[in-house]
Amino acid sequence: MERGFTQEQAAEAIGVHPKHIIKMEQGAANVTVATLVAVSVAFKVPLRDLFPDSDEDTSNQ
C-alpha cells in the first residue's frame, strides 16, 4: 500500500499470481527465498527489513 501498488501490480512486480499475494499477506503461504528476494527488489527494501528484529523482541520480555 505504501508504494501505491494494487495487489495485481504487486503480484506482477514480484512474479507471482495475485491470489498468492493475498495468501502471503495472511500468512497462509509458504514463501520461497526467491520470492522474498523478488519482494525486496520490487519494493526497494533491504531483505532484512522483511523480518522482525529478533533481538528487539526478546529484550522486551
- 53 has pLDDT over 60: yes
Q: Give the chain's domains with CATH numbers.
A: 1-44 (1.10.260.40)
Q: What is the DSSP string of 10-34?
A: HHHHHTS-HHHHHHHHHT-SPPPHH
Q: Tell me the CA end-to-end span of the chain in Å, nearest whole number.
A: 31
Full-model pTM: 0.72
User: What's at 16, amino acid-wise?
Assistant: V
For residue range 3-41, list pLDDT tens digits in order: 788 889 999 999 999 999 889 889 898 899 999 999 999
Q: Let me know: does 38 contact 15? Beta carbons within 8 Å.
A: yes
